[in-house]
Amino acid sequence: MAPVEVIGKKYHKVIPRILVNDRDAVVSVLKSGRPVTIRGYYFSNITSHLKADVQITPRGREAAGAEVRISLKHSGERVGSEKLIDAGKNAIAFVHSVRNPLNAIKGAVIYLRKKYSQENILVEFASLIETEIGRLDDFISKFLSASSTEAPSTETSVNDLLKKVELLTSFQARLRKIRTSYSYGEAPPVVVNPFQVEQAILNVVNNAIEALGPEDEISVRSGQRVFGEEEYTFIEISDTGPGMSQHGGRELASRLKNGKGFGLMITREIIMQNGGQFEITTGKGLGTLITILLPAKSAGTMERTLGAN
């Protein structure tokens, strides 16, 4: 992003939100008017893991803005652009090849739904699968016509999306003897593309299921957070798996270079495309926590900019 494009933007649209004790450190400085220095802060994303000292200094009258200085301590590995280009080509070829088996699955689901119409649970699952196949087919059409990014955004209930994800992944988790728990909090509506966000959440939950063993647990919860005058709906997906070391970004980058882990990268891009944020917190032996923040429909419009005077 060019420097001129940064002017007037909220700081967390330029760099990841800086959270200390679950509070936005920049907002705290703006409120208190006192500078803060954070030693050894980790900025994590899908392809890199950066350690830095962060200094936040209020600027202007009544702390109208803040200056954020970031001194990097370690530069994480990054995925080469060639690998991403290859992944894009493979994605197009894959999408082309999906259509025929998808139609076959749809036909089988319709047959089973009609044949076993007295089985209420089966009918419920079959109807849901049929709906999801239709939405996926529509997405494929738009993807192949290079217009998938133009899909409309609508007012969406995050809890409704999570209830579908809970249902769709329940059998898989049960077969692997993984415990799951869902906690539906007060989650304000968001304006997003519901299909894209649902797929992003499914990616995270399915990745967790694949990584865990018997008796491990996945916890999903939703709710509301306020940073300054900005209101967000959050989704937290945590697991009791092995987690990663403080250099987890390297492990993720290694998986990407070996052709794995693109689901998480795509998930992050989907969330960002829908105006949200995607954060990973992990530690060796401490499991993994993935947080998705989406601006609530009623979110405030106060602008907090970097370096404002």
DSSP, collapsed to helix, strand or coil, labels residue 42 as strand
Position 17, amino acid: R
**Contact indicator for 247, 208 with CB cutoff of 8 Å:** no
Residue whose token pair is 């016509």: 145
- Kindly state the helix (H) or strand (E) to which residue 233 belongs, with its residue range: strand 230-239
Structure tokens at 39: 């030693």
> What gap in Å lies between CA 200 and CA 224, rounded to an integer?
19
**pLDDT band, residue 248 (cuts 50/70/90):** very low
146, pLDDT greater than 70: no
**pLDDT band, residue 167 (cuts 50/70/90):** confident
pLDDT at 255: 47
> What gap in Å lies between CA 39 and CA 37, rounded to an integer?
6
pLDDT at 76: 46
DSSP, collapsed to helix, strand or coil, labels residue 191 as strand
Position 237, amino acid: I
Query: Where in the chain are the domains?
Result: 3-74, 78-151
**Contact indicator for 178, 239 with CB cutoff of 8 Å:** no
pLDDT for 61-99, tens place per residue?
666 788 888 887 654 444 445 555 555 656 666 665 676
